[in-house]
């Protein structure tokens, strides 16, 4: 595996471009002018698809129509857990592999998403903030109260810890070849843990270690990411929208749209798989990993397939280790079709990981696709999920973070979200204040 020591100077890793022709930094600055979440979504969508997209299941900003995979000379052997062996591993569920499992959309996510966004935008216009803003989503089980995070600096520190460990799982000893890639993965980690208003991210009022997402866009430009940076930036913007609206819509009530209920309402799993893939921004992370490792070029379907499998391998490992049942939002959830959906979920994973190998995708992308089977066992993030308590940051991680970001913030103990530490950490501060997480 040939990996360059730095992502500076390498060409594009993704051969396919979007409608927008500018840089990641220019795209970010244009998107930051948005005054509502709907405007942010529509502006990002315009950059991705252009003005003629019908906003149905053919829109590959929200959806994905998988092309037929042509076999080439495989670079790698199949992994031990595959179509022929899956029936031997009951830890991820009975039923083995079912060939021909559909990967087609049955539900158009656009009208459902826009309905939840309209509710969030209306709440912001009335009150400035929603009750769920900056609530802590690391609390398990799923029916536990969602409290205002008393110390978002803890979430920021752990997001960077998780980014370091993910990059090590994906890139080995070259995990920090690209600082922009490491910062990017940290930004992709934190919205799962905190309910962060997307416009706070775009305006720079939510920061980690004093850095904004705009800083990462500038890093991408400095490292020469070009079109790869635009793809990644639009991916993480969509992720922040998805992560926010699913938390806004989580609690039952008269205003609940039922976003995930509608996406999980059939025996098919493709709608839910793609929602979770976009909501975790594994696509943008796959591009970051490829640039960090000097891998490419590949067409976009190789990155999307790697992203899909990364999330699915993670969930399969969480099923085996009894972490998955504690997740708030499960892609296989259904009151009566859960077992059928779990079999379909495993089968789609096994089909796509097989396609990654048959297509001749680079080892780095194939490893990215099946990496969840390993990193769930190794990372503190999932040990914390399972135990329901924080694990102290190790001195080794603190030293790495100090080198990458500056001193690790000391934990604050104020429980009030109006305290100075919480204002700056949770994004309620201005850019001129000095106390950002």
**Dist CA 281 CA 286 (whole Å):** 9
Q: Which residue has the higher pLDDT, 424 or 215?
A: 215
Provide mean pLDDT across the span 244-264.
90
Of 251, 241, 34, 35, give the one whose Cα is nearest residue 125: 35
Q: Evaluate whether 325 touches 386 at the Cβ level (below 8 Å).
A: no
- Sign for the CA dihedral angle at 49, 51, 56, 62 comes to positive
Please give the pLDDT value at position 153. Answer: 79
CB 198 within 8 A of CB 240: yes
Between helix 179-189 and helix 395-405 the angle, nearest 10°, is 110
Neighbouring residues of 178: CB distance < 8 A, sequence distance ≥ 6: 6, 7, 223, 288, 291, 292
pLDDT value of position 420: 27
pLDDT for residue 207: 94
Take residue 201 and report the two structure tokens written for it: 């991210």
pLDDT over 90 percentage in the chain: 70
226: left (phi over 0), alpha (psi -120 to 50) or beta: left
The residue among 257, 289, 249 whose CA lies nearest residue 375 is: 289
- Residue 421 pLDDT exceeds 50: no
Confidence of residue 144 (pLDDT cuts 50, 70, 90): low
Contact 429, 153 (CB under 8 A): no
User: What does the block give as tokens for 58?
Assistant: 């053919």
Residue 3 or residue 376, greater confidence: 376
Mean pLDDT over residues 40-44, rounded?
Answer: 98
Mean pLDDT computed over 303-316: 96
pLDDT at 134: 92
Q: What pLDDT, on a 0 to 100 scale, did the predictor assign at position 436?
A: 38
Question: What does the pLDDT average to over 250-266?
Answer: 88
**For the chain, how many residues are written?**
437
- Cβ–Cβ < 8 Å for 409, 139: no
CA distances to 57, 125, 171 from 37, in Å: 21, 11, 34
Q: pLDDT confidence of 145, banded at 50, 70, 90?
A: low
Q: Which of 195, 187, 41 is nearest to 118 (CA)?
A: 41
pLDDT at 73: 75
Q: Is 307 exposed, middle or buried (0-12, 13-18, 19+ CB in 10 A)?
A: buried
| pLDDT above 70: residue 75 | yes
What is the average per-residue pLDDT within 326-330?
A: 75
Diameter over CA atoms, the chain:
60
What residues does 194 pair with on adjacent strands? 136
pLDDT tens per residue across span 338-351: 889 999 999 999 99
Distances (CA, A) of 118 to 122, 123, 132, 243, 262: 6, 9, 16, 15, 17
Q: What is the pLDDT of residue 266?
A: 85
Q: What is the pLDDT of residues 8-27, one digit of tens each?
A: 568 899 999 999 999 999 99
Residue 135: what are its φ and ψ, rounded to 5°? -75, 155
The pLDDT of residue 91? 83
Weakest-pLDDT range from 85-99, 132-146, 244-258, 259-273? 132-146
Q: Are 24 and 233 in contact (CB under 8 A)?
A: yes
The confidence score (pLDDT) of residue 334 equals 84
Specify the pTM: 0.90
CA atoms of 425 and 210, how far apart (whole Å): 9
SS3 29: helix
Q: How confident is the model at residue 139 (pLDDT cuts 50, 70, 90)?
A: low
- The Cα 378–Cα 374 span in angstroms is 7
Kindly state the percentage of the chain with pLDDT values over 70: 88
With H, G, I as helix, E, B as strand and everything else as coil, classify residue 80. Answer: coil
pLDDT of res. 215: 97
Supply the mean pLDDT for the chain.
87
Tokens found for residue 16: 């396919």
Q: What is the pLDDT of residue 428?
A: 33
- Residue 156 pLDDT more than 60? yes
pLDDT tens readout for residues 190-213: 999 999 999 999 999 999 999 999
What average pLDDT does this structure show over 422-437? 33
Secondary structure percentages of the chain, helix, strand, coil, to 5 = 55, 0, 45
Structure confidence by residue, pLDDT tens digits, 360-419? 999 999 999 999 999 999 999 999 988 888 899 999 999 999 999 887 665 543 333 332
Residues 6+ apart with CB under 8 A from 162: 186, 189, 379, 380, 381
Q: Quick one: CA dihedral 33, 39, 45, 51, positive or negative?
A: negative
Q: Which residue do the tokens 């190790």 mark?
A: 394
């Amino acid at each position: 595996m040939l990996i360059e020591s730095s992502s500076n100077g390498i060409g594009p890793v993704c051969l396919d471009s979007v409608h927008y022709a500018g840089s990641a930094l220019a795209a970010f600055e244009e998107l930051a002018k948005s005054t509502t979440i709907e405007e942010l979504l529509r502006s990002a969508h315009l950059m991705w698809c252009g003005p003629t997209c019908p906003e149905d299941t053919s829109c590959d900003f929200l959806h994905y129509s998988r092309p037929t995979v042509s076999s080439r000379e495989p670079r790698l052997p199949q992994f031990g857990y595959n179509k022929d062996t899956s029936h031997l591993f009951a830890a991820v569920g009975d039923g083995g592999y079912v060939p021909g499992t559909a990967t087609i959309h049955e539900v158009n996510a656009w009208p459902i998403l826009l309905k939840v966004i309209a509710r969030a935008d209306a709440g912001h216009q009335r009150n400035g903030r929603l009750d769920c803003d900056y609530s802590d989503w690391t609390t398990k089980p799923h029916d536990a109260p969602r409290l205002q995070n008393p110390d978002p600096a803890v979430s920021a520190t752990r997001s960077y810890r998780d980014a370091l460990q993910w990059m090590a799982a994906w890139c080995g000893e070259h995990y920090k070849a690209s600082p922009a890639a490491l910062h990017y993965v940290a930004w992709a980690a934190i919205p799962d843990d905190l309910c962060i208003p997307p416009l706070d991210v775009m305006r720079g009022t939510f920061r980690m270690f004093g850095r904004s997402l705009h800083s990462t866009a500038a890093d991408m430009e400095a490292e020469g990411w070009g079109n790869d940076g635009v793809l990644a930036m639009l991916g993480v913007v969509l992720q922040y929208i998805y992560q926010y609206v699913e938390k806004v819509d989580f609690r039952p009530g008269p205003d609940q749209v039922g976003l995930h209920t509608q996406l999980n309402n059939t025996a098919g799993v493709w709608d839910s798989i793609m929602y979770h893939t976009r909501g975790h921004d594994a696509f943008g992370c796959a591009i970051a990993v490829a640039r960090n490792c000097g891998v490419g070029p590949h067409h976009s379907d190789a990155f999307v397939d790697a992203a899909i499998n990364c999330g699915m391998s993670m969930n399969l490992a969480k099923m085996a280790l009894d972490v998955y049942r504690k997740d708030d939002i499960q892609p296989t959830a259904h009151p009566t079709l859960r077992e059928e959906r779990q079999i379909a979920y495993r089968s789609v994973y096994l089909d796509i990981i097989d396609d990654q190998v048959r297509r001749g995708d680079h080892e780095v992308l194939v490893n990215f696709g099946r990496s969840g089977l390993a990193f769930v066992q190794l990372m503190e993030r999932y040990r914390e999920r399972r135990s329901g308590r924080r694990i102290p940051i190790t001195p080794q991680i603190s030293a790495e973070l100090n080198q990458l970001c500056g001193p690790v913030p000391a934990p604050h103990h104020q429980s009030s979200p109006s305290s100075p530490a919480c204002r700056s950490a949770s994004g309620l501060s201005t850019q001129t204040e000095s106390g950002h997480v």
